[in-house]
Structure 1
Amino acid sequence: MSISVNGVAVEINGVSPEFAATRELLRQRAVGLGLIEGAAYDDDRIGAAIENLLAREVATPDPTEAECRRYYEQNPSAFTSGDIVHARHILFQVTPRVNIPDVRARAEKTLATLLREPDRFAALATELSNCPSGQQGGNLGQISRGDMVPEFEKVLFRLGPTGILRELVKTRYGFHIVAVDQRIPGRTLPFEMVQEHVAAYLRAAVEEKALRQYVSMLAGQADIEGVDLAASVSPLVQ
């Protein structure tokens, strides 16, 4: 692929054609404005000159508090903390050599016992569970989405009462007796907590749009062969 910008051949060197052409276009603009001497091709000097060029010619205003708040109010799901569950379990592990019906039968018998005598959960977890948590009475602590295997989480985060679940939970590891001790639904984080994050996001979006427009303007005034910068979504991002 042969690429040139105003008659200057552009080398790709492991980057995208759009990035290489954009860099050369900006280098030439920096030279034209006297931000870099002559036709220097030192990478560090070019990088510094392009930064100065963009700071000089692509000014982007910081988003106002009103703009940040409007984005926050229009996108509430983006600023919500995750659901949390506090749970315990007893694992009856299934391995290639075990008799699965026997394992299930032991698990169901234990579950029936616990539904009658829930106070024995910790003791039976210590005695029977094949999970290291058994030594802590089966306590799994605080669980967020993504912490456990999907089939386990599907049950944990299903809306329902707390306490010992009345059915075994089957996962790739075996059969689980599960007790949900507390459910803490996700909550919308206050604006003050996420304001800087919102401002940074909006600032980046404005900068990207301004950079695309600036490069498009320069490309429209240049003789570019071998690549279409106008078709690049974000030519300055490699």
Structure 2
Amino acid sequence: MQIPALSQTPLFPEITVNGAVIPSAAIAAEAQNHTAPKGKPGLAWRMAARALTIRKLLLEDAARRGIVATPMAVGPGLMETPDEAQIRALLEQAIAVTPPTEAELEAIWAKDPARFRSPPLWEASHILCAADPFDADATEGARLRAEAIHAQVTRDPKSFGKIARDASDCSSKANGGMLGQLVPGDAVPEFEAVLRDLAPGEMAATPVRTRFGWHVIRLDSRAETRELPFSAVRARLAEAAEKAGWTRAARDFTADLMKAADIRGVDLDIHQGQAG
């Protein structure tokens, strides 16, 4: 009895864009750059196929326009590829975004002024008992030392500065443990979480562990957030509005290229994903 040959149809086929083949291997490689829910590899493949299709169409359009571009630096020691440079030059030429008017910007701000607030500002002090987070014995020793310091400062709050100068493992010891003014992002999350809950002059109820070790933390003063006037946020609003406008224009531009293209091997939804 003859055994039927197994189908050789690939799970993810090649696609063609205006007659040019995008190999399934290239799509599979690109799919590694796209996340999809577990058990749905087809979604990552679809996203990869769409990204490579758009790239192909943008390069074709750049060639039709005769665009020549020189790669630019995009970071320390990093340069654009020739294709990336050509796509950038194409989008710079093809997409023009009208800057938002003053009235439009003010309307965005006036819709919900409470969204635009200054960050909180903290003045804090700490005493650090440093420890390697991967050394269990050192971490335990630092915890015990921090608890002893915490108990000592609790008995005599005025001794905080002196103990910091004598015992802290942070360079702030020279200032009695004072860290100066802090805003969100200046300290590690565990440290900031404590500052958010303390009242001015209050010390954390227990030492706090971070990747640096154990901290005895005191909040010295706090400036609360406040609503910012339009003048203070205008530049930020203008930048965000122009970026949003450029994103919409780029999406529409690539959607038009896809509508006009002969794409075979996959059904791509032109209303999803991002340009470039």
Distance 1:185 1:25, change over 3 A: same
Could you tell me which runs of 5 or more consecutive residues in structure 2 were left unpaired when the two chains were aligned: 1-13, 31-50, 71-84
2-structure distance, mates of 1:125, 1:10: 64
Find the partner of 2:163 among 115, 121, 124: 124
1:21 and 2:56 correspond: yes
Distance 1:84 1:21, change over 3 A: same
2-structure distance, mates of 1:195, 1:186: 18
1:234 and 2:234 correspond: no
Partner of 1:113: 155
Q: Which has the higher contact order (CA 8 A, sep 6+)?
A: 1
Task: Answer whether contact 1:25 1:218 (CA < 8 A) is retained.
Answer: no
Structure 1 counterpart of 2:94, one-letter code: L
Task: Answer whether contact 1:62 1:203 (CA < 8 A) is retained.
Answer: yes
Task: Answer whether contact 1:156 1:180 (CA < 8 A) is retained.
Answer: yes
Shift of 1:182: 1.0
Question: Alignment identity in percent?
Answer: 25
1:4 and 2:17 correspond: yes
Shift of 1:199: 1.9
Shift of 1:68: 1.1
Task: Answer whether contact 2:118 2:228 (CA < 8 A) is retained.
Answer: yes
SS of corresponding position for 1:157: helix
Partner of 2:108: 71
TM-score (norm: length of structure 2): 0.63
Shift of 1:2: 3.6
TM-score (norm: length of structure 1): 0.71
* Number of aligned positions between the proteins: 219
Structure 2 counterpart of 1:23, one-letter code: L
Task: Answer whether contact 1:152 1:169 (CA < 8 A) is retained.
Answer: no
1-structure distance, mates of 2:191, 2:146: 17
Equivalence map 1:8-157=2 (5 Å): 8=20, 16-24=51-59, 26-27=61-62, 31=64, 35-36=65-66, 50-51=90-91, 54-55=94-95, 59-74=96-111, 76=113, 79-93=116-130, 96-97=137-138, 99=141, 103=145, 106-115=148-157, 118=158, 120-157=159-196
Find the partner of 1:161 among 183, 199, 207: 199
2-structure distance, mates of 1:229, 1:51: 21
2-structure distance, mates of 1:226, 1:205: 32
Find the partner of 2:255 among 216, 222, 228: 216
Please tell me whether Structure 1 or Structure 2 has the larger radius of gyration of its CA atoms: 1
Shift of 1:85: 0.8
Shift of 1:200: 2.5
Distance 1:188 1:10, change over 3 A: same
Structure 2 counterpart of 1:3, one-letter code: T
